[in-house]
Structure 1
Amino acid sequence: MAITLIDLPYPKEALEPHISSRTLDFHHGKHHNAYVVNTNNLIKGTDLENADLETIIRKSATDPAKAGLFNNAAQVWNHAFYWQCMKPGGGGAPTGAVAKKIDAEFGSYAAFVEAFKTAGATQFGKCCFCGLCRLGRPVS
C-alpha cells in the first residue's frame, strides 16, 4: 500500500491572510509531499511495503536502523494532522473546559501561547504538544 498525499480539507486560499495560498501550496505540495515520497522509497521492497502509515510509524519508532523511515513517516502523519487542525475562520482563544484547564496550568491563555511558541520552536518538526510535555506540563 503506497502512502499518499492527502488532499487539503479546504481551498488553498481559504486560510488567507494568515497563511497565503503560495505558502500552503509549498508546504503541502512540496514539503509534505517530499515526506510521502521519501516514506514510499524507504518502504519499497521491505516488510512494511504494504503497511498503513500508523503501522509503519509504530514498527519503525524503536528501531534505530529505521530512524530515517520513522522521521519521514511521522512527518507524513504530523502534516496530515496539521491540515485538519486548521479551518477558514478558525482560531482564537478556547472556551469551556479547555479554557479552564489552560488557565489552571498556565495562568492565562496568553501565557499558554508563549509557552507553546517557545516549546514548539525547539522541537524537530515543531511538535509543540511534545514540547509542552518537556516543560513538565503534560497535555491531559
Structure 2
Amino acid sequence: MAIALPELPYARTALEPHLSAATLEAHLAHHRACVEAVNRLLEGTGLEELPLEDVVRRARGRLFEQAAQAWNHGFYWSCLSPRGGGEPVGELAALRIRRGGGFGHSREEFNRLALGLAGSGWAWLVQRPDGSLGLTAGPGAATPLTGADVPLLACDLWEHAWWLDRHDDRARYLEAFWQVVDWKAANARLR
C-alpha cells in the first residue's frame, strides 16, 4: 500500500496572518518530498503493506527518518486550526492544572524546550503512560511514536515551518504557533 500525502484540513490561507500561505506551500512541498521518499524506500522491505505509523515504529535508518517526518508533518497539520489558539479545554485543561503552574507555565516550558533545541526538530505535548502530561523536544525526525507516550500536540521546528514568515526568529514563530493551536483536537487525543 502506497503512503498517501494527506489533504490539508483547511485552506492554505486559513492560518494567516500567523502562518502565511507561502510558508504552508513550502512546508507542504517538504511533506510531499518525505512521502515520496518513503514510497521509494519501502520497496522490498517487507513493510510495504503497513500503515505509516507502523512503518515509523519498525523502520530504521533513512526509511525511519523519512517515514517519521511524513507522519510528524501529517500530525502537525491536525494540530493547527484557523479557529485555534487560546488555552487548553476539557480534560486537557484539568490535567494541566493538576500538573501545576497552569497553562502559562507549561507554555513557557514548551517554548524553552523548543528554543533550546539546536537545529531542526520537533517539540511535543504528550500524554505519558500513567496519564500525566509531558513535554519533549528532539532533533531531526524525533517522534513519540517510537515510545510509550501518546502524541497530543506537535510543533515543527524545521526551518521550512517558519523561515519565510519569521526568518531567524524562532521565538516569533512560536508566538504565531500558539495562535493557531487546535486544543479541541489535542483534547480528543487523550486516552
Tell whether the structures are fold-level matches, with TM greater than 0.5. yes
| Structure 2 residue aligned with 1:70 | 64
> Going by fraction, where is strand more abundant, 1 or 2?
2
How large is the Cα RMSD of the aligned pairs?
2.4
Deviates more, 1:1-10 or 1:115-124: 115-124
| Structure 2 residue aligned with 1:11 | 11
Which segments of 5 or more consecutive residues in structure 1 lack a partner in the other structure? 61-65
Give the TM-score of the pair, scaled to structure 1: 0.79
Moved over 4 A (4+): none
**Larger Rg, first or second structure (1 or 2):** 1
Equivalenced residue count is: 131
Report the identity percentage.
42
- Contact between 1:15 and 1:87, CA under 8 Å: does it hold in 2? yes
Within 5 A, what are the aligned runs for 1:1-140?
Answer: 1-28=1-28, 30-60=29-59, 66-121=60-115, 122=117, 125-129=121-125, 132-133=135-136
Distance in 2, Cα, partners of 1:11 & 1:105: 35
Give the TM-score of the pair, scaled to structure 2: 0.60
Distance in 2, Cα, partners of 1:49 & 1:128: 28
Larger RCO (alpha carbons 8 Å, 6+ apart): 2
- Contact between 2:3 and 2:52, CA under 8 Å: does it hold in 1? yes
Which segments of 5 or more consecutive residues in structure 2 lack a partner in the other structure? 127-133, 138-148, 151-189
